[in-house]
Amino acid sequence: MAVCTTCPYCGVGCGVLATVHPDGAVTVKGDPDHPANFGRLCSKGSALGETVNTDGRLLNPRIGDRAVSWDEALAQVADRFVATIRDYGPDSVAFYVSGQITTEDYYVANKLMKGFIGSANIDTNSRLCMASSVAGHRRAFGSDTVPGSYEDLEQADLIVLVGSNLAWCHPVLYQRIAAARNKRPDLKVVLIDPRRTMTADIADLHLAIRPDGDVSLFLGLLRYLADHDKLDLDYIEAHTNGFEEALETCGHAPVAVAAATGLSQDELQRFYALFADAEKTVTVYSQGVNQSVVGTDKVNAIINCHLATGRIGRPGMGPFSVTGQPNAMGGREVGGLANMLAAHMDIENPEHCDTVGRFWSAPTIADRAGLKAVDMFRAVADGRIKAIWIMATNPVDSMPDADGVAAALETCPFVVVSDVIAETDTTRLADVRLPSLAWGEKDGTVTNSERRISRQRTFLEGPGEARADWWQMAEVAKRMGFGHAFDWTSPAEIFSEYAALTAFENNGVRDLDIGAYAGIESDAYNSLKPFQWPQPAGVSPISSRFFANGGFFTPDRKARFVAVKTPAKPVEQDAYPFVLNTGRIRDHWHTMTRTGKSPRLSGHIAEPFAELHPGDADRLGVADADIVEVSSDRGVARVRALVTERQLPGAVFVPMHWTDQFSACARIDAVVAPVTDPHSGQPASKATAVVVRRYVAALFGFAIMAGKPNRPDADYWTIGRIAAGWRLEFAHSQYPEDVENFARKLLGLRERAQLLVFRDGRRGDHRIAAFEESRLAGVVYLSTQPVAVSRSWAIEQLAADHDDLSARWRVVAGRPGADMPDKGAIICACFGVGANEIEGAVRSGCDTVEAVGKATCAGTNCGSCKSEIREIIDDCRIVAAE
């Protein structure tokens, strides 16, 4: 029987039906009854079944390299924390947690740190994702409230997407908008993003704004709305404060806006007129807004425009922050951020501290903000923090100045890491490793971007001795002497306590109230359906939106306009002339500990890359598929060049996913500077000054093999899963002298393997294929240029039969025969359909995505590749017209 649970990836929070088959295989499909996705899933969600195996799992508690009992590990953690607090005070310890853990896990971590240890040094990787939205909400609304719901996207007449590549990062929301546009072509979409991402596919207008030009753009919009009599003066008067000051700081010069944004007057006018005329407008924003030194100001500049037009809290209207992680919102709710208390209470508010302290019967309660993520790791580095517990996250890859974070952890006297994976770039620096339950094994709740709380349910047994994160913390708390407050026996009991806290002395003065679930019993918790908060006790479900009629959570219940100023122009640095933008790709998640297990997901984009504008590439002497080095004053990353008109001149985009487990030198966060927004503490992960250089390679290589490859002795390499084994791309400054020996070592061949070697005398290239009986054990292509072999075809050869000598020579030649067309780069991960196959379908007359889908199946399952299919159709049209 299928189990209803929730996808563990992005903040859309899709409902999933998971089925475990008698052979142990897991299949998933979208839950048609879940209000976030109504049955849809994206490529990552669809492939969840491929990622739940136990490969690489941490199975036992370990102290150093020694497997130990839970009792010994927990005692060690408790003793070291107690001793550190005794000797150096509560602020000498810290927790660094994650938007991957459940709300119940988060609640326990926060209660232990803020109520019993007495420090607020607990922060979360959600700091890297949406802290600026939290700060912006609190400045404007007096509370961290997302006012709207996903259905507003379908009810709007205009959707403005700011710094948000929804097509790849929140694919099901993208699909919902695309479907709404199909039904209602009058629905307009504006995309504001320096890159022409795949989301541009549904945009009527794409504004390729200069990095961090958003504040100026929205200040200009507020001025335009005022000048064109488009304000809702009644709403401003009745429900807000500070409008005049905010308008005053907007300035009056459209020319200045054009200069600050890099947009033409015509583009600005088109956007402003669209916004002014569409009452039902939703402005969606995510990391492109949040990850900036002016992230909070960007959020408030957007909110100001919605407050000024009264477009908030009504159907189809409102500012809408979408979160990156599955439970970023749940963490915010229970105080996972160092500057908040539980249940949306303020740490700087003595009454709130008293309320939470009494509710918990806490011996001590933190009454000032703790260290936010970047400052927390600085404190580890300089010795102020002497013991840190990291849960479900990989800061050695994901934090800015990632090498500095690694160095800090190396010198930290005591590092505990709770994780599901044994070997990550962070676990290798831990003194104690605690095995946690993974998705499918754990049990709890998560909250998505529209305040909808859903259950993550158990459908698999945890392997080895893995245990829930909440249980690990509660056991440590007991050993620290706080047992009475941490004696839950199930997540249902924790949820019940949390729900009671939201209602405790609330009486409508706080936005977050789910008192209806205080005292919930196990059976009701187990069958809990997704619901949106607020849900106070004793009243039937109330409106799913906030603020249509004011009622903000400020002392006078009015919203605050924030008088945002135009940010100063960044100082140009000759030595670092490019702006580095980091982000996600369609089919990978964070540091690839799960998606890296799936051949399907690894097939779409197999290597880390740097997107460069053709003009810049020309100037740098970089060609497509060259290797480039992207460096800042912090570090360097080596990745594949991807030359594309999608990129703005002077900018470079590199994905965040590749770690030392998958690549030689591609941890892009080692390059990102630890510069933060002053209000939110969120790192500016999209605007590091960098230099880009061509890496001069004497050798390029591509290999496939059945077994996991040995790490090559090469300056650049990347490994990835394929259906029957592994693929490897590499480049180096020297060509190997003994190519046979090089290949044998790389492929880890046994003696009996037979080699077929081909040397192209003219180019000096080599191809070496190894066979064991009729089976291809591996093949290596070496060249002085980027290897021009069809990857998808070569990968298929690993599972093919090679009895026939001509088939063997085709592998060596790296060319499919005439009867085996090269499908090209994989576009549709679900059905393994390549770009060449899609192009073929278009050339034979398929001129819509639907027609291509009928002919090839591409895009007919999860639909995540539809924007790429549409782009191929458009490209073919352009070529035909030329």
Which positions lie near ligand SF4, rule CB under 6 A? 7, 9-10, 12-14, 37, 41-42, 44-45, 170-172
Cα–Cα distance measured from residue 780 to residue 719, given in angstroms and rounded to the nearest whole number: 13
| Amino acid at position 843, single letter | R
Q: In the complex, what is the shortest distance from the CB of residue 594 to ligand SF4, in angstroms, rounded to a whole number?
A: 11
Cα–Cα distance measured from residue 53 to residue 60, given in angstroms and rounded to the nearest whole number: 16
Cβ closer to ligand SF4: 12 or 312? Answer: 12
Kindly tell me the number of DSSP H helices and DSSP E strands found in the chain. Answer: 30, 34
- The dihedrals phi and psi of 439, each to the nearest 5 degrees, come to -60, 140
Cα–Cα distance measured from residue 683 to residue 677, given in angstroms and rounded to the nearest whole number: 6
Q: In the complex, what is the shortest distance from the CB of residue 45 to ligand SF4, in angstroms, rounded to a whole number?
A: 2
For 24-88, the DSSP string reads S-EEEEE-TT-TTTTT---HHHHTGGGG-S-TTB--S-EETTEE--HHHHHHHHHHHHHHHHHHH
Cβ closer to ligand SF4: 168 or 377? Answer: 168
- The dihedrals phi and psi of 391, each to the nearest 5 degrees, come to -125, 125
Cα–Cα distance measured from residue 143 to residue 690, given in angstroms and rounded to the nearest whole number: 37
Cβ closer to ligand SF4: 167 or 612? Answer: 167
Cβ closer to ligand SF4: 232 or 587? Answer: 587
Q: Which residues contact 437 (CB under 8 A, 6 or more apart)?
A: 420, 462, 466, 467, 468, 469
Cβ closer to ligand SF4: 5 or 783? Answer: 5
Q: In the complex, what is the shortest distance from the CB of residue 426 to ligand SF4, in angstroms, rounded to a whole number?
A: 23
Cβ closer to ligand SF4: 41 or 670? Answer: 41
Cβ closer to ligand SF4: 220 or 331? Answer: 331
Cα–Cα distance measured from residue 725 to residue 730, given in angstroms and rounded to the nearest whole number: 17
Token digits for 323? Answer: 């979160």
Q: In the complex, what is the shortest distance from the CB of residue 380 to ligand SF4, in angstroms, rounded to a whole number?
A: 31
Cβ closer to ligand SF4: 77 or 828? Answer: 828
Cβ closer to ligand SF4: 42 or 129? Answer: 42
Cα–Cα distance measured from residue 713 to residue 381, given in angstroms and rounded to the nearest whole number: 31
Cβ closer to ligand SF4: 170 or 767? Answer: 170
Cβ closer to ligand SF4: 33 or 277? Answer: 33
The CA R_g of the chain, rounded to the nearest whole Å, is: 27
Cβ closer to ligand SF4: 325 or 688? Answer: 325
Token digits for 165? Answer: 């590549």
Q: In the complex, what is the shortest distance from the CB of residue 48 to ligand SF4, in angstroms, rounded to a whole number?
A: 8
Q: In the complex, what is the shortest distance from the CB of residue 144 to ligand SF4, in angstroms, rounded to a whole number?
A: 21
Q: In the complex, what is the shortest distance from the CB of residue 12 to ligand SF4, in angstroms, rounded to a whole number?
A: 4
Q: Is the peptide bond before 491 cis (omega within 30 degrees of 0)?
A: no
* Residue whose C-beta lies closest to ligand SF4: 45
Q: In the complex, what is the shortest distance from the CB of residue 660 to ligand SF4, in angstroms, rounded to a whole number?
A: 25
How far, in whole angstroms, is CA 440 from its chain's centroid?
A: 20
Q: In the complex, what is the shortest distance from the CB of residue 8 to ligand SF4, in angstroms, rounded to a whole number?
A: 7
Q: In the complex, what is the shortest distance from the CB of residue 175 to ligand SF4, in angstroms, rounded to a whole number?
A: 8
Q: In the complex, what is the shortest distance from the CB of residue 428 to ligand SF4, in angstroms, rounded to a whole number?
A: 28
Q: Which residues contact 15 (CB under 8 A, 6 or more apart)?
A: 4, 5, 6, 7, 30, 31, 33, 34, 35, 36, 37, 454, 530
Q: In the complex, what is the shortest distance from the CB of residue 37 to ligand SF4, in angstroms, rounded to a whole number?
A: 6
Cα–Cα distance measured from residue 466 to residue 793, given in angstroms and rounded to the nearest whole number: 40
Cα–Cα distance measured from residue 447 to residue 333, given in angstroms and rounded to the nearest whole number: 9
Burial 505-525 (b: 16+ CB within 10 A, else e): ebeeebbbbbbbbbebeeeeb
Token digits for 505? Answer: 């002395």
For 410-477, strand residue ranges (E) read: 414-419, 432-435, 444-447, 452-456
